[in-house]
Structure 1
């Protein structure tokens, strides 16, 4: 089978297609013929060597974390799935595994049946950013119509889910995005939108109960200026050192720096599937064929788009 791998850290130029044996599944796994996989920021953070403490430096490495496809084979211990089922899922360890291949062997507990009314590209867009959005909601605690939330970098895949889920909670949400994301932010439920290309969010003089930085560019130091006295700063893209440091410093400060570490599971997927039934939409900004995988990653890394970027296989 064809698979995308890399033998050293670097830009998209280190990515290459190689021939590998089709995986042999274990008793608790399913073999899935991949129809699509989505691109997430963690993919290139790992590939560029920014996460070596967790990813290690052993090569070759694969890329891609969440996917959709058709069940080709099931392990002897698997129940609830059968050959031919249309499914979506996610790897168990995104730091060391990847799904950018024609076939993947995945633990069945991390594979779910694809809703019939969404495409393979949309289904492949759910697990990573959807789980992160639900985890962020958990970290926010009890939110209601009096809760003021600022989302910086609000219209990527993470923001797409988070805005729509927050709309269902009734919280008052301000979205910070570029000019191309304004309409999407409004459509997904933002009460107000700040175009960062025209206005500095700090000039607003407003303060918030929760600030969540999806762009990874604001940082806690800047966010403090936008936070109320007992507010939360949610960080879904922490540097490794920020994880222990934030826990320690939070003991002595009222403005908390909360790191979001999410792990897909049936619990979170059920919330997301229920959200889809209630009207949550999945926007796939652009779909690339497998042959244009480098272009897909280059496009994704540039940013500035709404929704998700997906690579499709025949």
Structure 2
């Protein structure tokens, strides 16, 4: 089978197609024929070598964390799913190898694809949807009437965080660029700020929660628009942020919280429910498999609304 790998840290140019054996099914594992794979910032942060402490430096490495596909074979002890089931799921965040024709998973890693969404939409859910759920379940208390600012809200996490926060009764302000304004409104934000025309840091509004998804609003700036008891969320922390947040949280009532994504079957189940209820899942760009280098060159520019995915179409 074909699989995308890389043998050294670097840009999209280090990615290559490798011919490798189809993984063998063990007693507790399930073989999935992959249909689509989502593209996430973690993919290139790991590939660039920014997260060596978590990902390690052993090569070759695969790429891709969340996916959708069809059950091809099940192990003798894996009885929850059957051949032909259409599923979506998530691999180990720092060791993901989803961008391949086949992969093996444990039962806990997948869920049945909701029939009202496509394979592409299903692949787009697990990482960003789980991230949004984890923010609101473990990092902050999502209370009715809470003022939440989501900076850089037009991407995947912003898409889910905006809608989930609104469903919980929060008052949501999203900061986006020109192209993100319609999406922010469609996703239910109470206020949609175009950062090109307005600087939220210069406004008078104070927030209970500030979620920075763009990497352009550090805690040192965000704290000026945070309420006395509030929280700032960093969604892609490295060693520097871990150390910084520790000392800030010792002395400040404005907390600096880090999202260290920990997928769970409960999150997949909850996302299934949201999808079945019609939550918006925008996939604005779909790349065929053989355009993987183009995909990983274009998507980091951040010009897409919602998510971009790679399908197995075009595998030759």
Q: TM-score range by the shorter chain?
A: over 0.9
1:41 paired residue number: 41
CA deviation profile, 1:11-63 (whole Å, cap 9, x unmatched): 10111111011101221110000000000000000011100111111111110
> How far apart are the structure 2 equivalents of 1:245 and 1:192?
31
2:275 paired residue number: 276
CA deviation profile, 1:88-107 (whole Å, cap 9, x unmatched): 1111x221231110000111
SS of 1:241's partner is helix
Is 1:58 matched up with 2:67?
no
1:26 paired residue number: 26
Contact residue 88 and residue 113 of structure 2 kept, 8 A = yes
Contact residue 114 and residue 276 of structure 2 kept, 8 A = no
> How far apart are the structure 2 equivalents of 1:115 and 1:210?
31
SS of 2:76's partner is coil
CA deviation profile, 1:249-274 (whole Å, cap 9, x unmatched): 31211100011122221211222122
Contact residue 285 and residue 304 of structure 2 kept, 8 A = no
> How far apart are the structure 2 equivalents of 1:69 and 1:142?
33
> How far apart are the structure 1 equivalents of 2:125 and 2:235?
16
Gaps of 5+ in 2: none
Q: How does 1:105-254 map to 2 (within 5 A)?
A: 105-138=104-137, 139-145=139-145, 147-254=146-253
Contact residue 36 and residue 120 of structure 2 kept, 8 A = yes
SS of 1:232's partner is strand
Q: CA deviation at 1:108?
A: 1.6
> How far apart are the structure 1 equivalents of 2:129 and 2:296?
20
TM-score (structure 2 length as normaliser): 0.96
Is 1:299 matched up with 2:298?
yes
SS of 1:78's partner is coil
> How far apart are the structure 1 equivalents of 2:25 and 2:254?
47
Q: CA deviation at 1:142?
A: 4.2
> How far apart are the structure 1 equivalents of 2:18 and 2:63?
13
Q: How does 1:53-92 map to 2 (within 5 A)?
A: 53-91=53-91
> How far apart are the structure 1 equivalents of 2:8 and 2:283?
30
> How far apart are the structure 1 equivalents of 2:160 and 2:275?
10
Q: Which moved more, 1:208-217 or 1:174-183?
A: 208-217
CA deviation profile, 1:63-87 (whole Å, cap 9, x unmatched): 0000000111101111210111101
1:259 paired residue number: 258
Q: Which moved more, 1:41-50 or 1:277-286?
A: 277-286
Contact residue 178 and residue 195 of structure 1 kept, 8 A = yes
> How far apart are the structure 2 equivalents of 1:308 and 1:240?
27
> How far apart are the structure 2 equivalents of 1:70 and 1:20?
20
Q: CA deviation at 1:195?
A: 0.7
> How far apart are the structure 2 equivalents of 1:80 and 1:97?
23
Aligned length: 312
Runs of 4+ in 1 over 3 A off after TM superposition: none
Contact residue 122 and residue 283 of structure 1 kept, 8 A = yes
> How far apart are the structure 2 equivalents of 1:160 and 1:97?
23
